[in-house]
Structure 1
Amino acid sequence: MAQEQLVRVPARPSAYTFEPATTALLVIDMQRDFLEPGGFGESLGNDVTLLRRTIAPLRGVLAAARAIGLTVVHTREGHLPDLSDCPPAKLQRGAPSRRIGDPGPNGRILIRGEYGHDIVDELAPTADEPVIDKPGKGAFYATDLDGLLGERSITSLLVTGVTTEVCVHTTVREANDRGYECLVLADCVGSYFPQFHAVGLAMIAAQGGIFGWVAESADLLAALTPSAGGGERRGGSR
């Protein structure tokens, strides 16, 4: 692989280097039910504005990824209308004002095909971007994500989405066990709990990057659009 093909991003615990041809941008669960009023997130008593802060930086990353032809994959958490894929342990968890499957202002909560289940308008997938529907927190559980990535020879993942400590963390752990090298973009993932967000990111990069790397989206964008001479784009090893 030619040295010029590598992109090097300042990150924790060390620089993260990837080849665009074998890298995918993974956008996890940026759905109305989590990010907009009246959805499941708000029904649990959460402040959805804490998640909406991720939209603007993620739009920038998404545009850059599309501009260089990076593989982009979106995920949505949700269930079949009859709830046959939603175990009681999940359905009965907590005491929300609305449970999964209950009617809400955007349709039945976290049910596939409903308006609230879909991705927010600002980050809507293009026709050629795969959307993985998942019944669990991890994007690899009961989905064909691993096969899809394998077909495209993807070995590195740029991870974004919500929430940091739940679906993002679960997916990064699953990806790590499967051999993918993950860079989590700190300002493009979010949580209803700022303290969980901070600790979740620290856990990923701890112990020499036990689950992956953490960086800011501005550093990724700078690496993708280097100044004359291409200093940052010519990377070394991780």
Structure 2
Amino acid sequence: MSESYVSGASPTPFTVPAGKTALLVIDMQRDFLLPGGFGESLGNDVNMLRSVIEPLAALIAAARESGVPVIHTREGHLPDLSDCPPAKLNRGMPSQRIGDPGEFGRILIRGEYGHDIVDELAPIDGETVIDKPGKGAFYATELTEVLEDAGITTLLVTGVTTEVCVHTTVREANDRGYECLVVSDCVGSYFPEFQRVGLDMIAAQGGIFGWTSPSDDVIDALRELTPSPALHTNRI
């Protein structure tokens, strides 16, 4: 099948075109999701994010089986913090800051254990991994080139957190002309009210930024696609 539909998507059914769709998995990193990590050090309940792992693992498996490329992102910085502006480094009053020693190495520093993706969702050989210094996946990264090279027009967006990196990326993608569906049980926030409002904002006013749908409906649509060649660009 050249395309399928997520019939239960909000605000309208969503088209999933074969060969032009990618699954974007945003920042499912140990620093954010593991007990004892950076996220928990800020006073957050990491179980709010960990609830995303199981449905997202099933969605990733369905994408791989359907030939839909999976692109992973990791938020983090160079060891010398030269790509981390003071406006980000000094924002707020956390117990620890980016670059400080943490439970899993220096916090949000590329190459450290905590910077990498949780084991349950680890990329496989050939899948793209994008290291990003900002909230959005397009800023100061090669994501645009990766998508253009593969002919991608449609993104299934997942990851954490809903109101920060997911929202920023969807807004960036919308401005660049990509059609986005945010998979509602495959994105997570430390704050339930942010999760609810964040999803509502995306699909409001006829889909001002995109669409939303639970993963079961998305998986059903993926299974109807004719498998197409996966994205071969490897950024691991």
What's 1:5 paired with? 2
Rounded to whole Å, the distance in 1 between the matches of 2:36 and 2:91 is 18
Residue segments in structure 2 that go unaligned for 5+ positions in a row: 226-236
What's 1:147 paired with? 145
Rounded to whole Å, the distance in 2 between the matches of 1:225 and 1:71 is 14
Give the total of aligned pairs. 224
Post-superposition offset of 1:20: 2.4
1:165 partner letter: E
Rounded to whole Å, the distance in 2 between the matches of 1:123 and 1:210 is 30
What's 2:17 paired with? 19
Q: CA RMSD in A?
A: 1.1
Residue aligned with 1:112, SS: coil
Residue aligned with 2:19, SS: helix
Residue aligned with 1:183, SS: strand
What's 1:94 paired with? 92
Rounded to whole Å, the distance in 2 between the matches of 1:118 and 1:20 is 30
Instruction: Summarize deviations over 1:140-165 as a string: whole Å, max 9, x none.
Output: 00001001000000000000000000
Post-superposition offset of 1:98: 1.2
What's 1:33 paired with? 31
Residue segments in structure 1 that go unaligned for 5+ positions in a row: 231-238
What's 1:175 paired with? 173
Q: TM-score, length-normalised on structure 2? A: 0.93
1:61 partner letter: L
Runs of 4+ in 1 over 6 A off after TM superposition: none
Instruction: Summarize deviations over 1:76-105 as a string: whole Å, max 9, x none.
Output: 000000001111111111121211000111
Q: Percent identity?
A: 71
Residue aligned with 2:124, SS: coil
Q: TM-score, length-normalised on structure 1? A: 0.92
The answer to whether the Cα contact below 8 Å between 2:16 and 2:221 also exists between their aligned partners in 1 is: no
What's 1:82 paired with? 80
1:69 maps to which of 47, 67, 70: 67
Comparing 208-217 and 32-41, the one that deviates more: 32-41
Rounded to whole Å, the distance in 2 between the matches of 1:37 and 1:112 is 20
